[in-house]
Amino acid sequence: MGKDYFRDRTGSTPEPLDLWEPIVIPREEIDEEVERLASLPQPANGRRRSVFVHPRNQKSLGLAPGIEVALDVLKPGERTVPYRQNSTQVNFVIRGQGSSNVDGRIRSTSLYDVWNTPSFVPYWHQNTGSDLYVRLTYSNAALLDMMNVHYVEENPPPRAVAVEEKMTAEDKKRRTSPFGSFPLNDEGAWLMPYEILISPPSVPSPALFWPWKDVKSHLDRLEALGKDYLGRRLYLLYNPMTGRTNGTTPNFFATMTIRPPRIVDRPHRHTSAAVNYYFHGSGRSTVEGEVYRWKAGDLMLSAPGWAVHNHASDDDYVYELTVQDQSLNIAMESLLWQESLKMPLAVLGVDEGFGTNREAAE
């Protein structure tokens, strides 16, 4: 059949998706792992860490194929060494208080605060309280590991800024295309020269902070939406640098949701994977016909890509942080979304998206 690198797919037909099973990691097991990590001697880099890995995952350290979720623990007074890497992060405090230095800016952080860490900026964390300081760290490291391009440094040197090599005016003229980018035909196809290819427009990537006390005051107002409201009561923790991809980082969105008692969502599905951390209340998720119970302190892979699912709250209010790789999928033009199973699917970011009945519900 030829060399080993050939795989004959002649006449092959599409195969159904092999969906991963949802997984609920109970608060009790997370608490046990926190205490286990805290019992270890502090390592040289200061990082006490475990990652949540799906049993089906044989290719990365991800809870979903492209989403790594880490449990980070610091004892009082402890601090990590500086790090930097080309992955981006969403950081979320689930116990204690501390401070985080991201790209030279120090912020005090406490329970349920969220912030992002941009790519390749130095950062470190410190426990400034009397209790353990515990964070969940969501990153696209799992995806970059599968691509074999996750670059990580401990105690990084000062970042050097790329400087254009010095050239004479004659050299510059010789090496620069006189044409720039230009249309090739009237269908919209263009050509771009190398000089522009290697110097795309730069978009500043800030480290942003969403304090829980401020977010909650806005979130609670969504309770006024009646039971007939068809959407979900949430706010995206939006980073404007992500633009049309609606992200907290270029890979992920992070949303904060409130579910009033006895609210049941419509079944829906999307190709992005979703990881939920519930920090108040209890309820259930129905995924591909199977019911999964959860409560405050549980972490759940609640929506493996393209699985039909919906969520429902019990007799108390539910608060949750949801992280999804929606932004990456919009950028890749791969975000299939079906807001209601009675409606056709759309490619979000390409097709017109979905509406809700919010005006009628308010």
Amino acid at 42: Q
Neighbouring C-beta atoms of residue 342, cutoff 10 Å = 8
What phi and psi, each to the nearest 5 degrees, are found at residue 169? -60, -35
> Which conformational region is residue 331 in: left (phi greater than 0), alpha (psi within -120 to 50 degrees), or beta?
alpha
Q: Which two tokens stand for residue 306?
A: 């393209």
- The DSSP line for 290-350 is EEEEEETT-EEEEE-TT--EEEEE-SS-EEEEEEETHHHHHHTT--EEESSTTS--EEBTT
Q: What is the per-residue pLDDT for 225?
A: 84
Residues paired with residue 71 on neighbouring β-strands, in sequence order: 50, 136
Q: What is the per-residue pLDDT for 353?
A: 82
Q: What is the per-residue pLDDT for 344?
A: 92
- Domains identified in the chain and CATH numbers: 23-153+204-361 (2.60.120.10)
Q: What is the per-residue pLDDT for 170?
A: 62
pLDDT in tens, the chain (362 residues): 457 889 899 999 999 999 999 999 999 999 999 999 999 999 999 999 999 999 999 989 999 999 999 999 999 999 999 999 999 999 999 999 999 999 999 999 999 999 999 999 999 999 999 999 999 999 999 999 999 999 999 999 987 665 555 666 666 655 566 778 899 999 999 999 988 888 888 999 999 999 999 999 999 998 888 777 878 889 999 999 999 999 999 999 999 999 999 999 999 999 999 999 999 999 999 999 999 999 999 999 999 999 999 999 999 999 999 999 999 999 999 999 999 899 899 999 999 888 877 766 66
- The DSSP line for 194-236 is HHHHTSPPP------EE-HHHHHHHHGGGGGS-TT--S--EEE
Q: What is the per-residue pLDDT for 174?
A: 57
Residues with Cβ within 8 Å of residue 34, at least 6 apart in sequence = 71, 73, 95, 132, 134
